[in-house]
Each structure stands twice: as structure tokens, then as C-alpha cells.
Amino acid sequence: MTLRAWLSFVFLALLCISPGFSADAENGYVVDVPVPLGGQSATALIGQLERLAKSAPQDGRLDVVLRYDAESSGGEATSFEDALKVARAVTGDRLRSLRIVSFVQGSVTGHSLLPILASDSILLSSGARLIDASAGESDQDETIVLAYQSIAARRGLFPKPVVAALIDPDVELAWVSNVGGGKSFAGGEELVKLRETGEVLEEEVWSAAGVPATVSADQLRSARIAAGIVETLEEAAEVLDLAQIIPVESDAIGGVTNGVLLEITGSISRSRVRRWQSNLNGSLVEGSVNTWLIALDSIGGDLDQSASLASSFAMPEPPLRTVVGLVSKEARSDSALLAVACKPLYMTPDAILGGTGADEISLTDLDNHDELIDSIARATKRPVGLIRGLLCSDLEVYRYTNKKTGRVKYTTPADLVSQSDDPDLERDRWEKGERIEMKEGLTAERAIELGLADGRSDSLDDVARRSGMEAVPKPVSDRGLVRFVERLGRSQGLMMILLMVGFVALSAEMNAPGMGVPGFLAMVCFGLFFWMNYLAGTAEWLELVLLMLGLCCIALEIFVIPGFGIFGIGGLIMTIASIVLMSQTFVLPQNSYQLAVITRGLWAALGSLLGLFGGFVLMRQFFPHLPLFRHLIMETPDAEAIHQAEKLADFSALLHQTGQTTTPLRPSGKARFGDQVVQVVSDGSMIDKGVSVTVIDVQGAKVVVEE
């Protein structure tokens, strides 16, 4: 190892153990600046920076890179007022918590230069240039010159002569070496005086008088005005000592970002997708919403439905601009198509994209959706071969590299040559690489590497901020009760409580002859447990479970239990609730239309129940008189015959006698009167075994006692 290398190693070691050194580098954000800068985009840019400032740490500053893209042009159309508004905001107190770094990748002209002069630091690509801030101005305005000098002086990044030359083409600018040593900038009359007095030892003219100034990246770097020359954000992060520079979506700068949140959890089904799509479309009615934020944690379930919803994500129509996605835990099977249709797509560090899930997707299923998958891949600029591989584990996807151009393609061996007239020639053009294993899904790191995801994020709040929103937007649906129910449906603790309560209620019912409240409670608990454990705890399945439980309770009340009690009342309530919920997409009405819908649903439910009871009445009245249906109806019991049968067992002699219970009375049981053990029933209270009781009433074979 050379002496220089050893010294570098020692320096780094000392730096690492010094108190001011932190091994955990921070993240920065990059915001694309529109060129030319207009009134609306200037306001939106300031708003975006203010939102980032609110998220800055209290004890530090947040690095924000303002990127001027290499394709930017037309800066001469930027008005001075709009540029000054941005520059004043950048140097003002409200953005004090931000360190603003301008990253110039192309040529910037006109007043678009002013926010660059207001920056804390500047980075440039090798071909970047700053050209003539006065472009677009017909006459020289002293007010504009003073504003430029004032803004530049606040930062002290650009020397005064450089600013003067950029704003005034008549000013000559030179970088001079003085006789006394040192180098400095001089321009205009100052440069003339230095030359006349002979104080200039050497000079490098940057801009001649009468020629609009053009300053290159090399010049700015050599004068130590620029912090460095970099080509990519990764290189910029190294210069700024950042872990990574995270993009803030450019759409957020083109106008105010207003979004809604859709949480896609559990399984994918036709009814759920229909509800999601209806609610998402409803959010666009007023025209203020332009962004959908999709939070995904799903095992899939229906490729057809996922494909339908994914097409609306990948190809948003105005006023919708962006569909932003976050995979919080997993997006498996067909739900992976929903994820990759979002642009941008973020994943939490532990999230999984793709892999086997609820729906087993075959090659035939993929072929049926080929055109749609291709359109989603084109719209999101994602590799179509990798999308197909995410969905079907039977597909063998490889990395191919063009031998001549180095272009990379991910596809199957068959698809590689499917569109070629000469398959052998096409196959020879590509070098086959590794197989991309996706059967178990892709981690966040791997998905980002392959271009299927755009970044990592730890929370919805972070994704919302990157997308231009101040906070996580409100959920897309106003069905707060539905979201609450589905959260309960995924609660493991509630599932165990229901199971425990169900068995306790069942035990109580078995110890009390007849069917009552414990039996009804056990039935409801077991039904809800089945819904949570086997039906994914979704609101739609809950509606079906309620309907089935309600009908079963009514049937028990009619055919098994005499009278009309808890099973009848509970069954009616559950049946009406399920019919009403199935007939609408909301719980509580919020407007006249929804009120009309819920009214129709209630009348339909009541009409159905009236039809049920009316049918029983008609059967009882008319079927006994029709020969075809007579055998379906039980004959009405003879009251006189029942009375005579009851007289065979005469317990009237026990009236007012005292005995002792041989079993608990809850409320029926047995009691001993002398040598005789008789079936008795209490007057309604529960009586324990071995308690003295007195007969208070005898009705045929029915003996009523009290303690």
C-alpha cells in the first residue's frame, strides 16, 4: 500500500471516530423545475418546497435538489416576476430548514437563472451552461439588475461581477490574477481600472462586452462556484454526502396535488373491484382530485378483475394525473398487476411483489390478457416479460443483452424471436443471461433493480409527501363503517374471542333445555368466526353470512321453536340488514340519491319478508284443500283428543304440595313429592337442585312450582 493510500485510510478513520461524524447518511429529495417557469408552476413549486420544509428534522436541515433537466428549454419565456417569487421564497425564512441545491443538466437561459442564483449550492453536468439572464427582455431595467444582485448577495455563491455579466450583455467579465497574488472576478469599469493601473498579472475573459454571457460547467467548477460536476443523482448524492436522493413527482409541480386513498387488502373479487372502481370514479366527479394513492396488501384472487382495475391505474384519464402505489406487505398473484400498473410504485423494505397467491394463473390466462399487459407495460415503461413472469410462475424469464448495443431485455426464449422473420438471426443478436426467479416473489430491492418498482418507502405519509401532498389523503370511500368492519375481519384477537364466546354460549345452551339467547349467541359467534377465518373478513362476505344466519334463525323459529323469540327477532334484523347492504354501495345515506336507494332497499327487504309469511299463510289455508298439495301439509291436531290424553295423567292432587328438586330447574326439570318424581317447570326463575318447592298450578300434565 502506498504512503498516500495509508494517509487516506488514517484520515477516514479519524473522521469516522470524530464526534461530528454520523455513519447514518440522510436522504435528500429532488424536485424537477419546469422551464419556462409560469405563474401556476411557480406557486406549485413554492408549495412543494414548503411541504418538504414541514417534514424537515427539527435539529437539522433537509437537502432538496432543484433539477433543471437536460431537455429543458425556453427559459427566456420565464417572467421576471415569477422567477423572483421563487427566488425570494428560496432565500426566505419559511424555507430556512431546507438546503437548496440546484442541479443543472442542460442549458438554462433567461430569468430561469434567478432561482439558481438563490441556491445554497450548485451542481452541474459536464455539458451544462448558464446563458444570458436578460434573454427575453427588450430593455435593460435597473430594478431587475438590483433584484439579481440582492438575491445573489443573500447566498454569496455567485460573485457580484458574474451576476452583473449574466444580467447585462454590455458588461465584460474576466477572471484575473492580481499582482499581489490571488484570483478574483472583475467586470465593467472595475476591470478597465485594473488594466489601466497594471494590477492585472493574468486574465481569463469569460464574457466579452456586447456579447450575452455564457458560463460553462468547467468554468464554474474551476472558480469553485459549483460544488462539483456530476452526471447522475447517484453521483450528486455522493457529493452531498446523502444516502440517496428521492424523486418528488414532477406532476406535483405542475399544479396543486389533491388525492384520495384506496386501501386494497385481502382477496380480489368481482364485487370488491366493482365497489373500488365505483368509489374511485366518484372521487373525480368534482374535478378537484387529480391523484390516486393506492395502498396494497393483497393475495390476489381474480385475474380478470385485477386486469380491469389495473388498466385504469396505468392509463389515467383527466382530471386524473397520477396513480401512486405502495406495497405495504405483499402484492401476490394477480394483485401484482395492480401494483406495477401504478407509476410510481414504492415498496416497504420487507414487502414482496408477485409470487403465488390466491389465484393460480396459467399460461392460457396470460395469453387471454396479453394485449392488456402489453398496454400496461408501455404506459408504465416496465418490462413486459417481467410483468408476465410475476403473474405466472411457470414462465421462464431470462435477461438478454444485445451483443452490439448492450441493450437489456427481459423475456422468454420463445417471446424473444416471436416477432422476428428470421428467429435464428434474432437469437444470435442477443446474449442469454441469468434466469429471473420470481416464483416466491421479489423483494423491494430486487423489484427496484429490475425496474418493476420505483423506490423504497417506510410509510404512506412518506409516499404522500413524495407525491406532492401534505399528508395522507382521506380514504376514497365514505363507507367508514365498511373499513372498520374489514379491519375487524382481519383481527386475530377478535377471532379467538368469538370462538371462546361461542363455545361458552353453546355450553350454557346445552345445560338449559330449549333454545334461547345462549343458542342464538353461539350461532352468531360461530358464523362470524367462519366469516373471518375462511372468507377473508371482507364486507361483501359479511353481508352473505348475515343473510344465511338470518334465514336459518327464522327457519328455526318457525319449524323448531314454538312462539316468536330471540331467533325470530334476530333473524329478521340480520336478514333485513344483509338485503339492504347488498343492494347499495354505502352504509349511511349522504344525499337524496343515496336516501332513495336505501329506501328502496328497505322496502325490498320488508316486501320479501312479507312474501315469506304470506306464503306460509297461503299454504296453511289453501294447500289442505288441493289434492295435489294435500299430502305436503300436516293435519291440524284434534284439541279434544289432546285434552283427553292429558287427562290420563292427572297431577291435580299435587296442588299446594311441597317437594324437593332432583335436578336444576332452568326453567324445567324434575322434583320429588313423596315417592313420586314428576316433570315440573318453575314460574320463570332458575332453581337449583335440592331446593324445596311448592306446586302453585297444575294444567293437565304441566306442573308449575315456585321456590
User: Is the same domain home to 102 and 226?
Assistant: yes
User: Is the same domain home to 547 and 644?
Assistant: no
- 624 occurs within a structural domain: no
User: Is the same domain home to 688 and 560?
Assistant: no
> pLDDT digit string (tens) for 69-112?
877 666 777 888 888 999 998 888 888 888 999 999 888 888 88
Residues 6+ apart with CB under 8 A from 102: 65, 66, 68, 115, 116, 119, 121, 122, 123
Cα separation, 342 vs 347, in Å, equals 12
If one counts every other C-beta atom within 10 angstroms of the C-beta of residue 131, the result is 19
3-state secondary structure 508-529: HHHCCCCCCHHHHHHHHHHHHH
Least confident of 1-10, 15-24, 308-317, 564-573: 15-24
- 592 occurs within a structural domain: yes
Amino acid in position 328: S
- 664 occurs within a structural domain: yes
Per-residue pLDDT at 23 exceeds 80: no
- 410 occurs within a structural domain: no
Cα 89-90-91 angle, rounded to 5 deg: 90
Amino acid in position 641: A
Most confident of 40-44, 620-624, 644-648: 40-44
User: Is the same domain home to 487 and 449?
Assistant: no
Higher pLDDT, 30 or 576: 30
Amino acid in position 228: G
User: Is the same domain home to 515 and 602?
Assistant: yes
Cα separation, 531 vs 679, in Å, equals 41
Give residue for cell 334465514: 551
Give the CATH number of the domain where residue 686 resides.
2.40.50.140
> pLDDT digit string (tens) for 566-594?
667 777 777 777 666 655 544 455 545 45
Residues 6+ apart with CB under 8 A from 263: 295, 297, 475, 483
Residue 13 pLDDT level (bands cut at 50, 70, 90): very low
> pLDDT digit string (tens) for 265-319?
888 887 788 778 878 887 877 677 888 999 999 888 888 888 888 888 888 877 7
**Bridge partners of 265?**
297
Smallest Cα–Cα separation from 359: which of 301, 276, 316?
301
Residue 252 pLDDT level (bands cut at 50, 70, 90): very low
Residues 6+ apart with CB under 8 A from 238: 230
Per-residue pLDDT at 167 exceeds 80: yes
Model pLDDT, residue 102: 92
Q: Report the DSSP pairing between strands 398-402 and 408-411.
A: antiparallel
Determine contact, residues 535/541, Cβ cutoff 8 Å. Answer: yes
Parent domain of 84: 24-169+212-251
Cα separation, 608 vs 463, in Å, equals 48
Q: Could you give the number of structural domains in the chain? A: 4
Higher pLDDT, 361 or 351: 351
User: Is the same domain home to 235 and 363?
Assistant: no
- 363 occurs within a structural domain: yes
Residues 6+ apart with CB under 8 A from 155: 91, 117, 118, 119, 120
> pLDDT digit string (tens) for 211-240?
888 888 888 888 888 888 998 888 888 888
Model pLDDT, residue 582: 57
3-state secondary structure 195-226: HHHCCEEEEEEEECCCCCCEEEHHHHHHCCCC
Residues 6+ apart with CB under 8 A from 689: 661, 662, 663, 664
> pLDDT digit string (tens) for 316-349?
877 788 899 999 999 988 899 999 999 889 999 9
Smallest Cα–Cα separation from 524: which of 565, 560, 566?
566
User: Is the same domain home to 226 and 91?
Assistant: yes
Q: What is the pTM of this model?
A: 0.45
- Give how far Cα 329 sits from Cα of 32, 354, 462, 494, 691, Å: 30, 11, 16, 21, 62
The helix or strand, by DSSP H or E, that contains position 164, with its residue range, turns out to be helix 160-167
User: Is the same domain home to 148 and 286?
Assistant: no
**Bridge partners of 203?**
176
- DSSP state string for 292-332: EEEEEEEEE--HHHHHHHHHHHHS--TT--EEEEEEEEEE-
Cα separation, 468 vs 465, in Å, equals 5
Model pLDDT, residue 122: 92
User: Is the same domain home to 509 and 546?
Assistant: yes
User: Is the same domain home to 226 and 299?
Assistant: no
User: Is the same domain home to 287 and 149?
Assistant: no
- Which three three-digit cell numbers place residue 517? 339467547
Give the CATH number of the domain where residue 316 resides.
3.90.226.10
- 623 occurs within a structural domain: no
User: Is the same domain home to 236 and 312?
Assistant: no
> pLDDT digit string (tens) for 668-705?
888 998 888 888 888 777 788 888 999 888 887 788 88
- 152 occurs within a structural domain: yes
- Structural domain ending residue among the three candidates 227, 251, 275: 251
* Mean per-residue pLDDT of the chain: 77
Cα separation, 316 vs 308, in Å, equals 13
> pLDDT digit string (tens) for 170-225?
888 888 787 777 788 888 888 778 777 777 778 888 888 878 888 888 888 888 88
Determine contact, residues 298/330, Cβ cutoff 8 Å. Answer: yes
Model pLDDT, residue 540: 54
- Structural domain ending residue among the three candidates 614, 648, 673: 614
Model pLDDT, residue 627: 64
> pLDDT digit string (tens) for 518-559?
777 777 777 777 666 655 545 555 666 777 777 777 777 666
Model pLDDT, residue 101: 92
> pLDDT digit string (tens) for 458-511?
888 888 887 778 788 888 764 455 556 666 666 667 777 877 777 777 666 666
Higher pLDDT, 463 or 640: 463
Contacts 24+ apart (CB under 8 A), 372-378: 372/307, 372/310, 372/311, 373/307, 373/337, 375/311, 375/314, 375/315, 376/310, 376/311, 376/314, 376/315, 376/337, 376/340, 376/341
Q: What are phi and psi of 263, to 5 degrees?
A: -100, 115
Cα separation, 348 vs 107, in Å, equals 37
- 174 occurs within a structural domain: no
Residue 430 pLDDT level (bands cut at 50, 70, 90): confident
